[in-house]
Structures are given as C-alpha cells and as structure tokens.
A and B are shown apart, each in its own frame.
With several copies, the nearest count.
Chain A
Amino acid sequence: MAWTREDMAARAALELQDGFYVNLGIGIPTLVANYIPDGMSVTLQSENGMLGMGPFPFEGEADADLINAGKQTITELAQSSYFSSSDSFAMIRGGHINLSILGGMQVAENGDLANWMVPGKMVKGMGGAMDLVAGVRRVVVVMDHCEKTGAPKVLKRCNLPLTGAGVVDLLITDLGVFEIDRKVGGMRLTALATGVSLDEITAKTEAEFVVAL
C-alpha cells in the first residue's frame, strides 16, 4: 500500500493558499491543479511566459501559440497575461512566485535536489528547474520514494548532478511527507502514506530523519 499519483497531488495541494501564484512542474505536479479547493484563488504560472494558465482546450481548439512549459496546448483565463522569457524568469528569480511544485530524481536530507540528468545516459536539460528552485519562495518536490529497482531516492547526499543545493522545503513521496530545514539541513517525517509503516519508510530511506508524526 502507498499513495497513488492522485493521492500525492492531493497532498501537495494542501500547500496552496488563497491568492498564491504557483508554478507546477511536469508530471504529478500538473495534477495538483485538479485539487485546488473551491473558492480558493490560485494563479498558475507557466515559465515560458504566462500567468493565469487555464485548462486544456476543447478538441479542435488547440492554438499553436498557446502552450505551457511542458509544450502542451492550454487555454487562457480572464486574468491571464503574457510576457517574455526574461520577464518570466525575472518574476521567478525575484521571489514573486509563492510556491513551486516539481518532480525529482533524488532529494537529500540537506535539501539538495537532482532532477535533470544522468551523466552518460539521459540528458533532458534543466529547463527552468534550476531557476525555479533557486528563486521561488517555497519549493515542494513530489516523487516516488524509490527507483523501480528499489534503490533509494531519498538520500544522505545526491549522487546525480544537482538542480539546486539546499533548495527543497517539503518532499512528498508515495510513502510519506518530509519537511526539510534547508538552512540548517535535516529532515522531519511528518506524515505516512496510507498503509505505510514507520519501519517500511525507514527501511526504504537512506537519509537520516526525525520522526514527527
């Protein structure tokens, strides 16, 4: 037993607050938009140059000039605005976005995040991820707790090239939730996923953590 992708998205949505401007990464983070509580106003930023990202278009209404950072076709809302990439990242780097929720390959107990390359094997590029984790006020990572091989992804130190050093505030995996003090370093386990025991998550986690359930 563990959390599904939808469960993880729902848990991440608890980090939203009314009036927040939020950047959602590709994958599970994108699903968070489905869990914005009714009556709460959250504006989604797309780092390719848009605030106020709307839902996917109806069939036949896709517009080649209107995509999100994942290259998916989207729509605009009443409050939307467009801007250049430099203006978009000025917004991100300048600390104007309240919350960034993104995926990860590895997270370490000191708040380090790796999610952009596996040397010699896989290279996507960092895209805007390095800017987001460096600039956004609060950074939440959502990822599977372990590799498909079972190898741990929540580590003492990342062994993949970093996306950011000491940047993660909260880690949500399919097994539980960890708060990270990114100034001092140190993880606190604050929630277990449905049906997951403390023994199980401890066994599957390389990082040291304090239990604060």
Chain B
Amino acid sequence: MVQKVHADAEAALAGLLFDGMTVMAGGFGLCGIPENLIAAMRLAGVRDLTVISNNCGIDGFGLGILLESGQIKKMISSYVGENKLFEKLYLSGELELEFNPQGTLAERIRAGGAGIPAFFTKTGVGTLVSEGKEIRNFDGDDYVMERGLVADLSIIKAWKGDTEGNLIYRKTARNFNPMMATAGKACVVEVEHLVESGQLDPDHIHTPGIYVDRIIAGARFEKRIERVTTRPRDTAPGKEAV
C-alpha cells in the first residue's frame, strides 16, 4: 500500500529537492503558509530556486528566510509590499522578479494543474504585464494570452488532512493552496490536524487526495499575524471599523 504520511518535513521532502528547481508555496502574506516545509527547505540548503508565491513572507519568517539565506534566484509573485529585503534585492537587481497580477497568477496556476497551456484575460491589457504577449480581440474587447504555470514541487498548508491526502482548509488560509496542490509535479502538504481516512466529510473536502503525494502533521505552527488589527470591547458591533 502506498503510504502518503511521512514523519516530518525533512522526510517528506527527501528526494524531491534539487538546485535550480521551481517551487510553488501556498499562502497569502503569512496566512496559510507551509511554515514547517519552508523551514525544512532552509535546512536542506537547496539553491537557485524559482519560487512561485503570491508574496515572499516577511523579514525573518515564511519565505523570507529563504531570501535571507540566498536560496532564491527568482520570484514569481504579485506583491512585495511587506518585505523590505524582497524590495531591496529586487531594486538592486540581486533577485529576479516576475510580477503577475494576483488573479492572473492564481489562474495561471489553476490552468497549469488543469492541463490548460494558455488562456485569455482582460487583466493587464495596456500595462507592462502584457508587453511581449499576444493580444487578441474577442467580441470587441482586448485580452492578453497568459500561460499555465507548473512547478517541480508544490508545498501546501491545510488545516485538516487525512491519510489519503484529502484536505480541508480553514477560512482565508485557503487562498493559493488548492490550485498549487494541483500544479506541482510533486505535492507535499503540512496540516494542523492529520486524521484517519473517513474522518472528513466527502462533501467538505477542498483538495482531493489525488493531488497529494506526501503529507505530514506539522511539528509546530507559529502562525504569525502580520497586522493584528482589533477593536476595543466597547465598540458597537456591526459595520464600524472594518
């Protein structure tokens, strides 16, 4: 019987890493990132990575630790905003960076996993993003052709997973994880709660196990929050202070 469950992040990545590889990493900001697998990649020391991820963590956490160690050669992302080192390395030319609109990035990954080599979108027409790409008019509007994206490896974070690799995400920690699970030649997942097959309702599964090659219960989840924004208890509930 094929065994998807591995003991820890190091074991789950064994044999899958090589210099120059392309890796997709789930998460939006620090929300829903595979923090245990990222830490294991840092320890493994694999280099010249092309990393596909909406952001690149922050200084000292998330993918930021792979930037600091110089393991990343190129990022394919939509947003740099919260990471000073990321912005600095890019502006100084030390890091290649391919900017994708967030929705185009999400759709390229979904297309890659779905066997769609290219699609047309209105996003980015008339901007830097569409330069050098085919523009085509459909029914009176211009669209740009974007290509599907795949990776050698996708590293994913889910809330619950079972031994068959079926996954359920929690709240906005879902984000890029489901598409990335489909677009890696190999897919390794860390979950907060690893359960036996049969414990997840088949109607609630977000990522079917077919996409998951290896799964671990994460040893430790720091789950840092970038911007803890709260309201005092005496605020009236409802629409204020959104």
> Which positions in A face B, CB cutoff 8 Å?
18-19, 21, 24, 30, 33-34, 36, 39-41, 43-74, 76, 78-86, 88-97, 112, 120-121, 123-131, 134-135, 161-166
Contacts and interface: CB of A to CB of B under 8 A. Distances in A.
Interface residues of B, number: 86
Given A34-B241, A41-B1, A71-B31, A127 B159 contact: no
B237 A55 contact: yes
A90 B181 CA distance: 12
Contacts of B173: 64-65
B242 A81 contact: no
Nearest to A37: B239
A34 B240 contact: yes
A73 B210 contact: no
A145 B101 CA distance: 26
Interface of B: 1-2, 28-32, 54, 77-82, 87, 90-91, 99, 101-107, 109-110, 112-116, 121-129, 159, 162, 164, 166, 169-179, 182, 196-198, 202-203, 205-206, 208-211, 223-233, 235, 237-242
A83 B126 CA distance: 29
Contacts of A134: 121-125
Contact of B127 (A36, A57, A64, A164): A164
B202 A67 contact: no
Q: Chain A contact residues: over half helix, strand or loop, or mixed? A: loop
Nearest to B242: A33
B99 A125 contact: yes
15 contacts: A19-B1, A49-B172, A61-B230, A73-B229, A73-B230, A82-B171, A84-B178, A84-B206, A85-B103, A90-B182, A93-B103, A93-B123, A125-B77, A134-B125, A135-B122
B83 to A, nearest CB: 10
B174 A84 contact: yes
Contacts of A125: 77-81, 99
Given A86-B110, A91-B208, A57 B174 contact: no
B31 A64 contact: yes
B197 A65 contact: no
B102 A85 contact: yes
